[in-house]
Structures are given as structure tokens and as C-alpha cells.
Structure 1
Amino acid sequence: MQDTRPDGLPPATQDGSCQYYGSIPGDLSPERNVGLLIKHVHILLHRVIDLHACPMGLTANQWRPLLLILHRGIDTPAELARALDVDTGATTRMLDRLESKGFVRRERVPEDRRVVKIVLTDEGRAVADRILPTIAQTLNIHLSGFSEDEIRMLIALLKRMIANGEQYLQQAADRPDNS
């Protein structure tokens, strides 16, 4: 059996897809590693957004929660921690900072005093509304020189990667041995 195709890539699997990464150390070099490249883009996006959000009194750890509260309707610290993929302690500290800046307030639910709701203040809503144009501008900076077709293709490919990962995680969760 041939280890690689003429183009240097590993042979296709039975479903016709390519197993792009093998066990050769160069396969996962920074310039070929899709995970590292996506992470680098993620970091750059956040750094540019932070550059513009800083004058608004926000950091990345602060503007993201405001957007989640405003646009996704997340209104409890636990939901926010899950959406941000951080622990509840980090969420509490972040909410403390946002509250001290006057962007959010925490309110106990009268029916169940154990439940705390996060509410955007008028100032928090105003600053959150200013973040979306900054995000659009940042994406446009990073997509400069791309054609419309290339952007559509990039979005489709990223969605496919997300679907593959979600499917794998679901299948792993469904297995009794969770292996």
C-alpha cells in the first residue's frame, strides 16, 4: 500500500476524504498545522478588537460577555461561564469588573433568591452596541484581498470543520466506554 499520493499527501480514506496529517513531525509544523493557524487568526482578531475596545474601557474578557448578554440572551453567571468556556470563579471576577464599570448589574430573582440574573445597564448596552461595528471592521481587515467566493468557501470549510468536531464529540459521548 502506498504511504502518500503523488502530491505528497496521504492516501484518501474509504469515504474519499484525505487524512492530511500523518505521524511525520513536519506534518504538524506551524505553517501546516490548521489548528495553530486558526488559533493564530483567533489571537490576531482579538488583539485588533481589543485595540479598539480599550478606549471604550473594555478588554476581550469584558466585551465578549456584554455581547453574549445582549445578543444571545444569556442572563445568568452559570450560562455565561459555559458560553465563555471559563470557570465560575473567573466569571464572578469578570462580572465584578463589569459591574464596577457600570456596564452590568446583578439582580436576585425574587421567586428564588439563589438565582442571580445579569442585566445590562444603559451604559453597558451602549458600549456593547459599539463593539459590533468594531468586530465587522476587524473581520474586514483580516479578509482584505479575499474575493466573495473565497470568503464563502472559507466560511463553508470552517462550518464543515465545526460539524466534524461536533459529530465526533457527540459520537464519543454516545459510546458507553467514552473512548
Structure 2
Amino acid sequence: MSSSTPGLDGIENPLALEQQVCFALAIASRSVIGVYRPLLEPLGLTHPQYLVMLALWEHEPLRVNELARLLQLDPGTLSPLLKRLEASGYVRREKDPHDDRALAVVLTDAGRALRDDALKIPPAIVERLGLPLDELLELHRRLTQVIAAATV
């Protein structure tokens, strides 16, 4: 039985689980984050904390709301991540010197030093995934298009 759904010509069953983009993305996300886990554990980081650190290593200092926007996280989700990073001694939250009403997140010396250890992670991920770098960069480009299309 062929699909008569507009835009899905040639798809036998448009509700087949294995043909759903959302299913493939969910499994890929869990699987790739699982590849990061053993690399991040020695650094004392979870994957979401790693993303916070990546943003800070690139853009420090950041206001909490800027960091939330950059990571596309709700500030309420970000706050517990920052508390744990602060308890680990990697970041500090302090008054923004330009706006007393806002908090800025800054790296501590330990947070800055952690960057050197984190430099080993990207090549280890590329090796573990076993895909050529150009294919991973193309995948990233395509996923960025999907994200942009889904957030319109």
C-alpha cells in the first residue's frame, strides 16, 4: 500500500518508526552523548556542563541570560548546571560590572586549566565515531539547517 500523503511519494508507510527523522535524531543524540561520557568523566563534567564550559572557553565572561541564549537553554535549566560547575570550582557567578542587576559567569583558574585537558576530546570523538572529518562537518552543517528550520 503506497502513501497518498502529499510530499511523501515513494514512502510505503509514513508512520514507520525507522523512517521518522525524530527517531533517528533521538537515537543519534543519545548515542553520541554516550560516546562523550567516558571522556568527560575524568574531567568531572557531564555533557551539558561540557557545553557550558565550551561556551565560556570561547566567550567568557557571559551574562547568565547570554549563556542561556547561546546554549538554547532555559535559564531555569542552566542555573543547576552553573551551581554544580561552581561547586566543582570551575566557574564563578558574579555581578556584571556593566549591569548590577545581571549575573556574569566567569571561569576560575581551574576552569581555564581544564581547557587543556578538554582539547583531547574532539579528536577522540572523531576517532571513536570512525567517520571522516569532512563527513562529520557536513553532518553538522545539515543538522544546523534542521535546527534552523525547526525553530522558525
Partner of 1:162: 144
Q: How many residues align?
A: 150
Contact 1:49 1:135 (8 Å CA) reproduced: no
**Is it true that 1:124 corresponds to 2:107 in the alignment?**
no
Normalised to the residue count of structure 1, the TM-score between the two structures is 0.67
Q: Deviations over 1:30-79 (max 9, x none)?
A: 3x333322332222221221212112111112111011111244611111
**Amino-acid identity (%):** 27
Normalised to the residue count of structure 2, the TM-score between the two structures is 0.77
Name which structure has the greater RCO, CA cutoff 8 Å, separation 6+.
Answer: 2
Q: Secondary structure at the match of 1:102?
A: coil
| Structure 1 residues 19 and 125: CA distance shift in structure 2, 3 A | farther
CA RMSD of aligned residues (A): 3.0
| Alignment map for 1:19-168 (pairs within 5 Å) | 24-26=14-16, 29-30=17-18, 32-73=19-60, 75-142=62-129, 144=130, 146=131, 148=132, 152-153=134-135, 155-156=137-138, 158-160=140-142, 162-163=144-145, 166=148
Where in structure 2 are there 5+ consecutive unaligned residues?
none
| Structure 1 residues 165 and 67: CA distance shift in structure 2, 3 A | closer
Where in structure 1 are there 5+ consecutive unaligned residues?
5-9, 171-179
Work out which of the two has the higher radius of gyration on C-alpha atoms and give 1 or 2: 1
| Structure 1 residues 156 and 63: CA distance shift in structure 2, 3 A | closer
